[in-house]
Structure 1
């Protein structure tokens, strides 16, 4: 029997700490439900003490998800632990993840605490968390740069206090795989009560080694890995769930563990996170990139046609890629539409949700003759057509014109807090003119940090997915839009971001006060 490797997903917490990746409560619940379909063991839903919005999000996820354990992060302080305990209360299975730094530089420069004080605080935090749940995880922050003797001391004390999971974080992505693996081996061998807890790895990707370090930890006794979809996370990101899971699944000859992940849901989960956060997946990204299973070399194509395993170590279908591309058209009925979505793993909570998406499908079918699976997935995940909480702006009409040698023009009509307002502007192109026309009406004062467009499928009639990132007063918001007209998708994305950043639905960095 293979050991069970626990998959701990922190897309909603650590992943959200990427600048611009902040998610609304509703978006977090949508991702959490997809993680549940993916059969993730533990979902770290947020940092409840960071803000009321984060508390509400964790509480909502704990109420909506039934199969996965819901975890809340907490510093080793009373308010954090109490908030985390209250937030996870509705969960069928709840966990509190508490942490305190243990490296010399963190203890001296950040905490201004002695090692003895750190041990005392760690023990207190674990015991306090046990007042709310029997499932308590403890992390010695910056363990990768901590003294091993001190790590043994604080971890032994945390386990004695009731910690059931010990997470070893490579907080700054400094470790090498052989070092990180050796650290786990040494800790498990030296700590007398190590058999009373599950050891976990949490790696950052600053040197591009997060997955390698995590796998090395597994080879040396770790039985939980903390990861995110698409490797999302602050700075260079975290261990990519899809890469870690498929490495273990593909190399069962190397690993004496296995996960319970439903790998066929990986692609759908990846695309949902990409759309909600606006962080596009690079084409050559392992597992979920558009080119991950593409072959252009004649030698490779010939080999794959003769025998797939000559150049493919995984089946594309096993991670959610579909060989059935063209699926629908303008004459397709509602039942066929619903059936195909169910085949793609998309199920709606209410009939109204299905009806809303079906209307958008019909509108798309009038403009695009052939509808592909990717188009359907984009329709589902696109939130630019959905009313956001405290909506301020809505696009009513857009007219653009461009001519060789002349400035491009855009005419925009917006709904602004109950009134229809019109503006016209010129720009260096139709998108530039459109954004300037919108800004002349809303006067947001936000600066454009990112603008990108990608095609969903091939062809000039493909849906274009646009991402816009705005910054205002240190707060960052991503907006997304999709349409066969890239100017219209750009306007949708810009307004989607404006509603978030001007409607105060964007919170500050979850650990800004840490």
Structure 2
């Protein structure tokens, strides 16, 4: 009550959250929630903090609270469910349909403490797809779900599992012959929503090394990739032809990655080439050539593995002193020839940065990601510590 009183000095929009509510005594919750609303709380949040609740219980638990709190109608009721038992989405939906909750706290890709939280994209599409049951609206542009998911994955370094609902690479993939036949005759046979409705493109032109400039330009337009000039498209097309020599098929994600690397050549530190030697029973050797503010650097080193040797080769010249916090690999496209995307997280002097690199050669992608991270560590435009908003400790 005292905390709400202080909060009211700054805002009229106050949420009171009952930590570990699903394991708390209802009688105590009645009293504390009544007091919170009486003092001015406008949202009452009921969390399943440790993911302990079951869907058949949780919705009725919310309903019971609302029925026993005399001023319940003066606040919006919210749920915040964790996924320790894989029930975050089910509990959240139960809280809405059975408990009367009208706010759900969730996160893109379900990221959160431990096993995560309720996934926003799954919740939104469940309510929209089964609107006949929920009869509720969600003010979300669903066509941005997949782009948002990919952006969060890229920034955090947490890859999206292929079989993830809604935003996973296989979410709208049909492998079974009878499924394929059914979808070709009527999509509704095996699709309860359209890929386009969440940001996927159902029909994709498969490009390869025999494709010409016109086809490439047309696909760039269809993908709505922003370009500044024909020269930029020509430069991307040259990279496309180089990639097509190494991959039999080029997918939309490959084309997007060609433009995601547009700024690499402008960076002070950028990748040139990589030479690797790896043999069972022998320590891998790596030689990395890269440009550092206009000067060519050649680093050589061995390591516990090919990636370790690659990073050590770079550091043999860079001598940054940075500590590696995260190394993550994600396939941008399907198949054995998939283009790999690597995320490298480095820390130095209190700063934490992510570097990204993509290439069909995963070791080259690793080198690009590491150099991208070094760029951000040395970039004067990014000298502010992202966690604390201050200059890093020398």
With structure 1 as the length reference, what TM-score do the two structures score?
0.63
Q: Which of 221, 239, 252 in structure 2 is aligned with 1:373?
A: 252
Contact 2:286 2:309 in 1 (8 A): yes
- The structure-2 alpha-carbon separation of the partners of 1:469 and 1:288, relative to structure 1 and needing over 3 Å to count, comes to same
Q: Distance in 2 between matches of 1:223 and 1:360?
A: 50
Change beyond 3 A, Cα 1:490–1:504: farther
Partners of 1:124 and 1:259 lie apart in 2 by: 31
1:484: which partner in 2? Answer: 360
Match status 1:176 vs 2:57: no
Cα distance, 1:296–1:341 mapped onto 2, change above 3 Å: closer
**Secondary structure at the residue paired with 1:128?**
coil
Q: What CA deviation, in whole Å up to 9, does each residue of 1:113-160 have, x standing for no partner? A: xxxxxx333x32432332xxx333332233223332232223223323
Residues 468 and 493, structure 1, Cα contact 8 Å, conserved in 2:
yes
**Take 2:95 and 2:230, find their aligned partners in 1: how far apart are those partners?**
47
Quick one: distance in 1 between partners of 2:70 and 2:27? Answer: 13
Q: Residue 269 of structure 1: CA displacement?
A: 1.4
Distance 1:332 1:410, change over 3 A: farther
CA gap of 1:158–1:256, structure 2 versus 1, over 3 A, is same
Distance 2:116 2:145 in 1: 18
Q: CA offset at residue 176 of structure 1?
A: 1.7
How far apart are residue 238 of structure 1 and its match? 1.0
Range moving further from structure 2, 187-196 or 409-418: 409-418
Query: Cα gap change, 1:419/1:339 in structure 2, threshold over 3 Å: closer, same or farther?
Result: closer
1:126 aligns with 2:4: no
SS of 1:425's equivalent in the other structure is strand
The answer on whether the counterparts of 1:423 and 1:437 sit within 8 Å (CA) in structure 2 is yes
- Quote the Cα distance in structure 1 between the aligned partners of 2:261 and 2:57: 43
Specify whether residues 253 and 216 from structure 1 end up closer, same or farther in structure 2 by C-alpha distance, changes over 3 A only. Answer: same
Q: What are the superposed Cα offsets for residues 427-449 of structure 1, whole Å, 9 maximum, x if unpaired?
A: 46643421120232325352465
Distance in 1 (CA, whole Å) between partners of 2:233 and 2:361 is 19
Aligned: 1:201 with 2:82: no
Q: What is the alpha-carbon distance in structure 2 between the residues aligned to residue 275 and residue 255 of structure 1?
A: 33
- Determine helix, strand or coil for the equivalent of 1:313: coil
Match of 1:242 among 100, 106, 121: 121
Superposition TM-score, scaled by structure 2 size: 0.80
Q: Mind listing any 5+ residue stretches in structure 1 that lack a counterpart? A: 1-118, 509-514
Can you list the C-alpha shifts for 1:355-407, whole angstroms capped at 9, x where unaligned?
997576334323134653222444566698398xxx9x723433304376776
Q: Which has the larger radius of gyration?
A: 2
Alignment deviations for residues 287-315 of structure 1 (CA, whole Å, 9 cap, x no partner): 11111122223333343344433333222
Q: Give the 3-state SS of the residue equivalent to 1:129 in structure 2.
A: coil
Q: Which has the higher contact order (CA 8 A, sep 6+)?
A: 1
Query: Cα deviations across residues 437-494 of structure 1 (Å, max 9, x unaligned)?
Result: 023232535246534242424463x432123345779987543211233222111222
Equivalent-residue separation in structure 2 for 1:380 and 1:296 (angstroms): 30
- Aligned positions of 1:345-494 closer than 5 A: 358=233, 361-369=236-244, 371-379=250-258, 385=264, 394-402=269-277, 408-414=284-290, 421-427=297-303, 430-441=306-317, 442-444=319-321, 446-447=323-324, 449-458=326-335, 460=337, 462-469=338-345, 478-494=354-370
Q: Is 1:270 aligned to residue 149 of structure 2?
A: yes
In structure 2, distance between residues paired with 1:485 and 1:303 = 37
Distance in 1 of aligned mates of 2:154 and 2:217: 26
CA distance in 1, matches of 2:115, 2:263: 27
Q: SS at 1:323's partner residue? A: coil
**Is the 2:78–2:102 contact (alpha carbons within 8 Å) kept by the matching residues of 1?**
yes
The 3 A distance-change label for structure 1 pair 331 and 483 is same
How far, CA to CA, are the matches of 1:421 and 1:241 in structure 2? 45
Query: Which deviates further from its counterpart, 284-293 or 369-378?
Result: 369-378
Equivalent residue runs for 1:211-360 within 5 Å: 211-219=89-97, 220-326=99-205, 331-332=213-214, 336=218, 339-342=221-224, 358=233
- What do residues 143-183 of structure 1 show as CA deviations (whole Å, max 9, x unaligned)? 22333223222322332333322222222222222232122
C-alpha separation between the residues in 2 aligned to 1:170 and 1:475? 34
1: CA distance between counterparts of 2:364 and 2:138? Answer: 43
Q: How many residues align?
A: 374
Bigger shift: 432-441 or 229-238?
432-441
Work out the CA distance in 2 between the residues paired with 1:197 and 1:438: 57
CA contact (8 A) 1:203 1:214 kept: yes
The answer to whether the 8 Å contact 1:413/1:420 transfers is: yes
**3-state SS of paired residue (1:173):** coil
Q: Does the 8 Å contact 2:159/2:330 carry over to 1?
A: no
Q: Which residue of 2 aligns with 1:156?
A: 34
Looking at structure 1, the residues matched to 155 and 263 of structure 2 have their Cα atoms a distance apart, in angstroms, of: 10
Tell me whether 404-413 or 185-194 shows the greater mean CA deviation.
Answer: 404-413
* Contact kept? 2:299, 2:315, Cα under 8 Å: no
